[in-house]
Amino acid sequence: MNAKKMLLLLVALLAAGLFFYLDLGRFLTLGALKANRQALVDYYAAHRVATVAGFMALYILQTALSLPGAAVLSLAAGAIFGSVMGTLYAVIAATIGAILAFLVTRYLLRDAILARFGPKLEGLNRELEERGFNYLLFLRLVPLFPFFLINLAAGLTRLPLRSFALGTVIGIIPGGFVFVNAGASLATIASLRDVASPRVLGSFALLGLFALVPVVYQKLKRRGGALS
């Protein structure tokens, strides 16, 4: 690893370390958001551009460094900006942050990990190269897979950046809207479980299965051709 890569990695590790050392996560809780909502709304009314820029920068940093607090930030987007614009800001910021995490993994950590686990990733690499968009879309739509783990895992494969970015921005819109829209009615939320209800999770899972339909069809088509 060259000096520039080492410096970037150290900066990322330092930022993540400071987050936990200073216990900044206490500000990214539902209780803290409810307590400070009016102040945030008032600040947004007086400084619209600065609020949007600050919110998106914070969301990008949180996602790029795989820090906790994404759900609360999505709720904050709805509480401050409303359902539509909040979803727009949150989805754009989360996508940019995911791309940064993807690139950091690919260009700073990929060589070291592939040197040890390369043969085990060949099958996954091949599937992602051939049908990467559909697989990624499935992973994004089904909330059983942690968002940050998908970013890191995808960076270890040969999945094209364009497919990763497109699959991410499309796949996170439904879940993003659910949380942002809930944030617009923040007073009715007692816990994050009130947002991610079994019915909502089931709907996402169904969407994810639809994303896999082309993949299953291609496999069945190949199998049928091999038998004929």
Q: Give 116 or 169, the one with higher predicted confidence.
A: 169
Given this model, what pLDDT does residue 209 score?
Answer: 61
Q: Give 91 or 21, the one with higher predicted confidence.
A: 91
- Say which residue the tokens 């004929």 belong to: 228
Amino acid letter, residue 83: S
Q: What average pLDDT does the chain have?
A: 81
Given this model, what pLDDT does residue 120 score?
Answer: 65
Q: Give 87 or 216, the one with higher predicted confidence.
A: 87
Given this model, what pLDDT does residue 201 score?
Answer: 57
Check whether 39 has a pLDDT greater than 90: yes
Check whether 110 has a pLDDT greater than 80: no
Given this model, what pLDDT does residue 146 score?
Answer: 82
This prediction has a pTM of 0.81
Residues 6+ apart with CB under 8 A from 189: 30, 75, 182, 183, 195
13, two tokens = 């590790």
> DSSP string covering the chain, please?
--HHHHHHHHHHHHHHHHHHHTTGGGGSSHHHHHHHHHHHHHHHHH-HHHHHHHHHHHHHHHHHTT-S-HHHHHHHHHHHH-HHHHHHHHHHHHHHHHHHHHHHIIIIIHHHHHHHHHHHHHHHHHHHHHHHHHHHHHHHHSTTS-HHHHHHHHHTS---HHHHHHHHHHHTHHHHHHHHHHHTTGGG-SSGGGTS-HHHHHHHHHHHHHHHHHHHHHHHHHHHHHH-
62, two tokens = 């949180």
Task: Give pLDDT tens digits for 166-211.
Answer: 999 998 998 888 889 888 888 677 777 767 655 555 555 566 566 5
* Structural domain containing residue 96: 3-227
Q: How confident is the model at residue 62 (pLDDT cuts 50, 70, 90)?
A: very high
Distance (Å) of CA 167 to CA 3, 44, 139, 174: 32, 31, 9, 13
Amino acid letter, residue 30: L
> DSSP string covering 21-61, please?
HTTGGGGSSHHHHHHHHHHHHHHHHH-HHHHHHHHHHHHHH
Domain count, the chain: 1
The pLDDT > 70 percentage for the chain reads: 75
